[in-house]
Structure formats: structure tokens, C-alpha cells
């Protein structure tokens, strides 16, 4: 029987070939994207305790550029050997925001030791193609998710943790995933006998209450004797206090006061109703304050239409990067970024943040 490393090398050669063929296919120029997995799979000599699975690498760049990038040391194309070694910058991962948040969450459930030894966990993605936003993954690239399923079948981890609750949909049978904490805080399922858990991606901004709630639940679930017995009701009974602390976490400010302070900086809203106010923000962009859902502030193109509201906005990607990378706003359909009311610590600090974002937007215009 082949060792796990022999199986991984065979898998890596086939996977590198499959991605290379699609990335260089003249019929699919949209797939000319850099691709890689994350942690170093050459360190794995037995089934890991944990597989951390996100949707895809969230940066950017073409495959053509990757081939010529000296950091990759590629002989004119991606090879199975190089793919197996993962992201060449992974040695810096402990300084990454999303990793620090994950460690913080795990520490709340007394399971942080799972992240100490790179032989005991694997971090990878459903698709290896690198895009700044997950919704920019080409449809043809999703066919290669089958390669990730093959990887899971080789690794046979004890648990799978999905960063992004929707990632579980690719591994579980239709409608079999259970929502343990609604609406999208914690889900569970089974893949070929392996327990799967999905949480919000750790690149987003977590509150202390949210980390405490999810970490405590994961600590319990990773030690549960049988997932068949785990229900939303059980989670509620065991962690109701932490769930309520998360749900009730609201920074106290008055909606009208927030609108008034923003109006002082941006002028009167060009559209207003009892729940929503919209303001000119910078050239071509508008800021919205709304009580819809749990309440949020959002920035997008002033005028748009269709599924991609910002499609005609000049510098849209640069604007989005400022919001998502520099200020940890959240990505949401139709928006460059949003910030939920519960993450606004005070009106004063938030006005300062908006002023800084406004200046950065003007600099790239």
C-alpha cells in the first residue's frame, strides 16, 4: 500500500497538470490565474487531525506572472512537486489577520494546540485559483474542486473546518447540513464519515462575543462522541449564554445621531426614508446607512444596475481593497464593503474612519 506521501505526490502531479491546462487554455483566458494550495503538504506523513478549508486564495495575479515570479522557482510552469510545497509565503501565516483570529477562536475552546504542529493540520482551499474576491472565480474553475475532494480522500482528516459556512455546501449532500447557530454562524455536516463544521471566514471582523461563542462550541464539537446527537437545541442548551451575549452585543448609538454626524461631513442625503439614508461619498460612490437586517453602513457606486452594481465604477477594485484590507469591512453582494452597526464602537471613531477612507478613495481617483 502506498504511503500518504506517495499518494500526495501522485495527486499533486495530476492536480498541477489539470490546473495548468485550464490556466493556459486559449478558450478560457479568464482562467489565466495564479494557483496554489496553502500549507506545506510535504510535512504530512499521517492523517492530520484537522483540515482547514476556505473557498480560494484571496489575492490576485495571473498564472503567467506566477511562472515568472522568482519566489515560486518554477521551471516554466507549476509542477506537482512545487504545488505540494504550498504557498511560499506560508511561513509568515502566523502574522496574518485571518490566522490570528482563528487562533483566538480556538483558544476560547481550549483547542489552540491543534494549530501548533504543521504535521497535524492542513490548510487548503476548495479551488486553488487566486482571485481578490470569491465571486470572481471563473465557472470553469469550479470543475477542479473535484481535485480538492481527492485530496480530502487521501488525507482522511479527523475534522474539517470550513472558513465560510457556504463552503460546506460543496462537501455535504443537498440539505443535509445542519444550522447549529443561525443565521450563518455555525453549521455542521458529514463528508464520507468526517465531521464538517462551517464558521464565518476569519478574514472578517469578529467581536469578542462571537469568538467566544464559536470557540466554545467548536471545543465541544471536536470532542463530541457522535454528531448524530448534536442538534441546534443541544447547542442552545449548552451555550445559550454565549449565544445571547453575541446576539445582544450592540454598541449603543442613536441612528438619527449617526445620520446627523455623517450629514455634517457629507451634506444632506440625496435619498432618505425612515430606515435608510444615502449620501454622496466620493466621485461616483455613495454611502448608505440603513436599519435593514441588523443595521449596517455600506459603500458602492452611486449608480448601478443588475447583479454587479459596481461593474462600471472606475477603481472599484482599489476601493474594495481599502475597505476590506485596510479597514476590515465585510464583502457583500452589490457593495464594495459594509460595516455592521454592531462593529461601530462609537460615532466619533466611526466618523474618523470614514474621513480616512474618503481621503484614500480620493487618492486613487
* CB crowding 226-235: b at 16 or more within 10 Å, else e: ebeebeeeeb
Number of structural domains (the chain) is 2
For residues 113 and 235, membership in a common domain is answered with: yes
- In the prediction, which pLDDT does 251 show? 54
**Tens digits of per-residue pLDDT, 1-49?**
899 999 999 999 999 999 999 999 999 999 999 999 999 999 999 999 9
**Tens digits of per-residue pLDDT, 156-212?**
999 999 999 989 989 987 667 899 998 889 999 999 999 999 999 998 878 889 999
For residues 158 and 128, membership in a common domain is answered with: yes
Burial of 43 from C-beta contacts in 10 A (0-12 / 13-18 / 19+): middle
- DSSP 8-state class, residue 333: T
For residues 197 and 281, membership in a common domain is answered with: no
Please say whether the beta carbons of 181 and 84 come within 8 A.
no
Burial of 245 from C-beta contacts in 10 A (0-12 / 13-18 / 19+): middle
Q: Is the pLDDT of residue 250 over 60?
A: no
Cell numbers at 20, concatenated: 495548468
**Tens digits of per-residue pLDDT, 286-317?**
999 998 877 899 999 998 877 789 999 999 99
Pick from 127, 148, 145, 146: nearest CA to 137:
127
Report the DSSP pairing between strands 50-54 and 121-125: parallel
Q: How far is CA 132 from CA 61, 89, 116, in A?
A: 9, 17, 28
Mean of the per-residue pLDDT values of the chain:
92
Q: Is the pLDDT of residue 232 over 70?
A: yes
CA angle 248, 254, 255 (to 5 degrees): 95
For residues 31 and 107, membership in a common domain is answered with: yes
For residues 237 and 259, membership in a common domain is answered with: no
First to last CA, the chain: 60
Domain end, chosen from 247, 270, 293, is at 247
Give the start-end residues of each E strand in 164-212: 178-181, 186-191, 194-199
The average pLDDT across 275-281 equals: 95
- In the prediction, which pLDDT does 215 show? 98
CB neighbourhood size of 73 (10 A): 10
For residues 184 and 326, membership in a common domain is answered with: no
Domain end, chosen from 206, 225, 247, is at 247
Confidence of residue 134 (pLDDT cuts 50, 70, 90): confident
For residues 96 and 228, membership in a common domain is answered with: yes
Three-state secondary structure of 219-240: HHHCCCCCHHHCCHHHHHHHHH
Q: Is the pLDDT of residue 260 over 60?
A: yes
Q: Which residues are CB-neighbours of 346 under 8 A, at least 6 positions away?
A: 251, 253
- In the prediction, which pLDDT does 92 show? 94
- Supply φ then ψ for residue 133, to 5 degrees: -130, 140
Domain end, chosen from 247, 273, 301, is at 247
Per DSSP, helices labelled H in the chain are 4-23, 63-68, 80-84, 97-108, 145-155, 208-221, 232-247, 255-266, 316-321, 347-364
For residues 242 and 271, membership in a common domain is answered with: no
The average pLDDT across 118-138 equals: 92
Three-state secondary structure of 260-323: HHHHHHHCCCCEECCCEEEEECCCCEEEEEECCCCCEEEEEECCCCCCCCCCCCCCHHHHHHHH
The average pLDDT across 246-263 equals: 80
Whats the size of the chain, residue-wise?
365
**Tens digits of per-residue pLDDT, 49-100?**
999 999 999 888 999 999 999 999 999 999 999 999 999 999 999 999 999 9
- In the prediction, which pLDDT does 2 show? 92
3-state secondary structure of 356: helix
For residues 155 and 239, membership in a common domain is answered with: yes
The enclosing domain of 41 has a CATH number of: 3.40.470.10
* CB crowding 248-263: b at 16 or more within 10 Å, else e: eeeeebeeeebbebbe
Q: Which residues are CB-neighbours of 207 under 8 A, at least 6 positions away?
A: 246, 249, 342, 343
- In the prediction, which pLDDT does 211 show? 95
* CB crowding 186-212: b at 16 or more within 10 Å, else e: bbbbbbeebbbbbbbbbbbbbeebbbb
What is the extent of the structural domain holding 276? Answer: 255-364
For residues 117 and 259, membership in a common domain is answered with: no
What is the model's pTM?
A: 0.73
For residues 213 and 267, membership in a common domain is answered with: no
For residues 231 and 300, membership in a common domain is answered with: no
Amino acid at each position: 500500500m502506498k504511503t500518504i506521501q506517495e499518494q500526495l505526490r501522485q495527486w499533486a502531479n495530476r492536480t498541477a497538470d489539470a490546473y495548468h491546462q485550464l490556466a493556459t487554455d486559449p478558450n478560457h483566458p479568464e482562467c489565466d490565474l495564479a494557483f496554489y494550495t496553502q500549507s506545506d503538504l510535504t510535512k504530512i506523513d499521517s492523517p492530520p487531525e484537522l483540515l482547514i478549508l476556505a473557498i480560494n486564495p484571496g489575492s490576485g495575479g495571473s498564472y503567467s506572472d506566477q511562472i515568472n515570479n522568482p519566489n515560486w522557482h518554477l521551471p516554466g510552469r507549476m509542477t506537482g512537486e512545487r504545488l505540494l510545497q504550498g504557498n511560499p509565503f506560508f511561513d509568515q501565516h502566523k502574522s496574518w489577520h485571518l490566522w490570528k483570529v482563528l487562533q483566538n477562536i480556538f483558544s476560547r475552546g481550549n483547542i489552540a494546540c491543534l494549530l501548533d504542529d504543521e504535521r497535524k493540520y492542513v490548510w487548503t482551499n476548495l479551488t486553488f485559483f487566486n482571485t481578490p474576491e470569491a465571486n470572481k472565480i471563473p465557472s470553469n474553475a469550479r470543475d477542479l474542486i473535484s481535485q480538492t475532494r481527492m485530496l480530502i480522500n487521501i488525507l482522511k482528516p479527523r475534522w474539517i473546518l470550513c472558513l465560510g459556512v457556504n463552503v460546506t455546501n460543496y462537501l455535504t449532500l443537498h440539505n443535509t447540513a445542519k444550522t447549529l447557530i443561525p443565521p450563518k454562524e455555525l453549521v455542521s455536516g458529514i463528508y464520507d464519515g468526517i465531521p464538517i463544521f462551517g464558521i464565518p471566514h476569519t478574514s472578517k471582523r469578529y467581536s469578542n462575543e462571537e469568538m467566544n461563542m464559536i470557540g466554545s462550541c467548536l471545543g465541544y464539537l471536536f470532542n463530541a462522541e457522535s454528531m448524530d446527537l448534536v442538534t441546534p437545541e443541544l447547542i442552545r442548551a449548552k451555550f445559550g449564554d454565549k449565544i445571547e451575549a453575541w446576539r445582544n452585543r450592540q454598541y449603543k448609538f442613536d441612528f438619527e445621531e449617526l445620520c446627523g454626524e455623517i450629514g455634517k461631513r457629507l451634506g444632506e442625503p440625496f435619498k432618505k426614508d425612515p430606515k435608510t439614508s444615502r449620501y454622496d461619498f466620493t466621485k461616483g460612490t455613495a454611502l448608505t446607512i440603513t436599519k435593514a437586517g441588523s443595521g449596517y453602513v455600506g459603500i458602492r457606486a452611486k449608480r448601478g444596475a443588475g447583479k454587479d452594481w459596481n461593474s462600471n465604477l472606475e477603481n472599484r477594485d482599489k476601493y474594495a481593497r481599502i475597505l476590506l484590507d485596510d479597514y476590515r469591512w465585510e464583502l457583500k453582494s452589490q457593495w464594495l464593503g459594509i460595516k455592521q452597526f454592531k462593529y461601530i464602537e462609537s460615532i466619533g471613531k466611526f466618523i474618523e474612519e470614514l474621513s480616512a477612507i474618503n481621503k484614500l478613495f480620493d487618492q486613487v481617483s
